[in-house]
A and B are shown apart, each in its own frame.
Chain A
Amino acid sequence: MSDLETFRREMRAWFEANAPKSLVGQAGSELEGTWGGRKATYPNPDLKLWLDRAAARGLTAPTWPKEYGGGGLDPAEAKVFSQLLRELKLPPPLIGFGLTMIGPTLLRFGNEEQKKLHLPRICRGEIRWCQGYSEPGAGSDLASLQTKAVREGDHFVLNGTKVWTSYADQADWIFALVRTNPTAKKQEGITFLLIDMDTPGVSVSPILLISGKSPFCETHFQDVRVPVSNVIHKIDAGWTVAKALLGHERTMIADAFGAAGPKPDKKGGRSYLAELAATKIGETNGRISDPVFRDEVAAFEMESRAFAYTVQRTKDAARAGHQPGSESSMFKVYGTELNQRRYELIVRLLGPDALGWEGPGFEEDDLESTREWLRSRGNTIEGGTSEVQLNILAKHVLGLPA
Chain B
Amino acid sequence: MQLVLTEDQELIAATARDFLAANSPVARFRALRDAGDPLGYSPALLREMAGLGWLGIPFDEKDGGAGLGLAELVLVVEALGRKLAPEPIAGALSMGGIALALGGSAPLKAAWLPAILEGEKVVALAHQEPGSRYDLLRIETRAEAKGQGHSLSGTKVQVLDAVGADAVIVPARTSGAVGDRDGITLFLVEKNAPGLTVERQLRVDHRNAALVRLDGVVCAPASIVGGIGEGGRLVEAVIDRATVVLAAEMLGGMSEVFDLTLEYLKTREQFGVPIGSFQALQHRAARLYMAIELARSSVMAAARSVDAGEAEAAKLVSLAKARASDAYVQAANEAVQIYGGVGMTDEYDVGFYMKRARASELTFGDAAYHRQRWARLAGY
What is A's interface to B at a CB cutoff of 8 Å? Answer: 269-271, 274, 277-278, 283, 286-288, 294-295, 297-299, 301-303, 305-307, 309-310, 312-313, 316-317, 319-320, 327, 330, 333-334, 387, 389-391, 393-395, 397-402
B256-286 vs A, Cβ < 8 Å mask (1 yes, 0 no): 0000001001100000011011010111011
Most buried by B among A313, A320, A395: A313
> Which residues of chain B (337-380) have a CB below 8 Å from chain A?
368, 371-372, 374-376, 378-380
Closest 10 CB pairs of A and B: A394-B282, A309-B297, A393-B286, A316-B4, A298-B371, A313-B3, A310-B297, A306-B294, A400-B276, A298-B375
Contact with A along B298-324 (1 / 0, CB 8 A): 101100000000000000001100110
Are A398 and B289 in contact, CB atoms less than 8 angstroms apart?
yes
Find the residue from A278, A303, A391, A401 having the highest chain B CB count within 10 A: A401
B282 lies within 8 A of A390 (CB) = yes
Contact partner, A301, options B3, B282, B301, B374, Cβ 8 Å: B374
User: Do B283 and A387 touch across chains, with their CB atoms under 8 A apart?
Assistant: yes
**Complex Cα distance A286/B380, Å?**
6
Q: A297-B380, A330-B290, A397-B289 are in contact. Are A391 and B375 (CB under 8 A)?
A: no
Query: Which of A301, A302, A319 is packed against the most chain B CB atoms within 10 Å?
Result: A302
Which residues of B, 98-137, contact A by the 8 Å Cβ criterion?
none
B149: min CB distance to chain A, Å: 40
Given contacts A269-B379, A302-B374, contact A400 B283 (CB under 8 A): no
B265, B276, B279, B319: which contacts A306 (Cβ < 8 A)? Answer: B319
The dominant DSSP class at the B interface is helix
Give the interface SS of chain A, mostly helix, strand, loop or mixed.
Answer: helix
Contact A390 B4 (CB under 8 A): no
| Subset of 15 A-B contacts with CB under 8 Å | A278-B380, A287-B380, A288-B380, A294-B380, A295-B375, A306-B323, A316-B3, A330-B293, A333-B286, A390-B282, A391-B283, A394-B283, A394-B286, A398-B286, A401-B273
Residues of chain A lying within 8 A (CB to CB) of residue B290: 330, 333-334, 393
In the complex, the chain B residue whose C-beta lies closest to that of A288 is B380
Point out which of A295, A297, A306 has the most chain B C-beta atoms below 10 A from its C-beta.
A306
Q: Is the CB of A302 within 8 A of B277?
A: no
Q: State in angstroms the CA–CA spacing of A402 and B274 once bound together.
A: 9
What is the CB-to-nearest-CB distance from A219 to chain B, in angstroms, rounded to a whole number? 33
* Other-chain residue from A298, A317, A330, A387 in contact with B372 (beta carbon distance below 8 A): A298
Residues from chain B with Cβ under 8 Å of A316 in the complex: 2-4
Question: What's the least CB distance linking A341 to chain B, in Å?
Answer: 14
Which residues of B sit under 8 angstroms from A270, Cβ to Cβ? 378-380
A401 touches B323 (CB 8 A): no
Q: A271-B378, A278-B380 are in contact. Are A391 and B282 (CB under 8 A)?
A: yes
A254 to chain B, nearest CB (A): 12
Is B374's CB under 8 angstroms from A298's CB? yes
Partner of A310, one of B293, B374, B380: B293
> Which of B3, B266, B371 is the one whose CB lies under 8 Å from A401?
B266
Residues in chain A near residue B296, CB distance under 8 A: 310, 313
Task: Give CA–CA (A271, B322) in the complex, Å.
Answer: 19
Question: Once the chains are docked, how many angstroms separate the CA of A291 from the CA of B305?
Answer: 28
**A387: chain B residues within 8 A (beta carbon):** 283
A148 to chain B, nearest CB (A): 32
Nearest neighbor of B374 in chain A, beta-carbon distance:
A298
Question: Are A309 and B298 in contact, CB atoms less than 8 angstroms apart?
Answer: yes
Interface size class of B (residues with CB under 8 A): 35 or more
B322 touches A400 (CB 8 A): no
Min C-beta distance of B262 to chain A, whole Å: 6
Complex formed: what's the CA distance from A333 to B293 in Å? Answer: 13
From A310, A320, A327, A399, name the one whose CB has the most chain B CB atoms within 10 angstroms.
A310
Q: Which residue of A lies closest to B293 (CB)?
A: A310
Q: Does B203 contact A (CB under 8 A)?
A: no
Check A299 against B283 for contact (C-beta < 8 Å): no
Q: In the complex, which residues of chain A have a beta carbon less than 8 angstroms from the beta carbon of B146?
A: none
Instruction: Please name 11 further chain A to chain B contacts, defined as beta carbons within 8 Å, in addition to the given A270-B379, A313-B296, A334-B294, sorted by A numbering.
Output: A270-B380, A288-B375, A294-B380, A295-B372, A303-B323, A313-B297, A333-B286, A393-B286, A394-B282, A394-B286, A401-B273
| Cα–Cα, bound, A391→B301 (Å) | 29
| Chain A residue at minimal CB-CB distance from B1 | A312
Contact of A312 with B378 in the complex, beta carbons under 8 Å? no
CB neighbours (8 Å) of A398 from chain B are 262, 282, 285-286, 289
A317 and B4 in contact (CB under 8 A), knowing A309-B301, A310-B294, A391-B279? Answer: yes
Contact A274 B266 (CB under 8 A): no
Tell me the bound Cα distance from A299 to B318 in angstroms: 11
Contact assessment for A298 and B378 in the assembled complex, using a CB-CB cutoff below 8 Å:
yes
Among A310, A400, A401, the one with the most B-chain Cβ atoms within 10 Å of its Cβ is: A400
B368 to chain A, nearest CB (A): 7
Minimum distance in angstroms from B3 CB to a CB of chain A: 4
Rounded to whole angstroms, the CA-CA distance of A347 and B182 in the bound complex is 42
Residues of B within 8 A of A399 (CB): 262, 266
Residue contact B375 to A287, C-beta cutoff 8 Å = yes
Q: Closest B residue to A291 by CB, please name it.
A: B372
Task: Give A306 Cβ to nearest chain B Cβ, in Å.
Answer: 4
Q: Which residues of A contact B3 (CB under 8 A)?
A: 309, 312-313, 316
Q: How far is the CB of A119 from chain B (nearest CB, A)?
A: 32
Instruction: Please report the C-alpha to C-alpha distance between residue A302 and residue B286 in the assembled complex, in whole angstroms.
Output: 21
CB atoms of B374 and A313 under 8 A apart: no
Decide: B380 and A277 in contact? CB cutoff 8 A: yes
Q: How far is the CA of A277 from the CA of B379 in the complex (A)?
A: 12
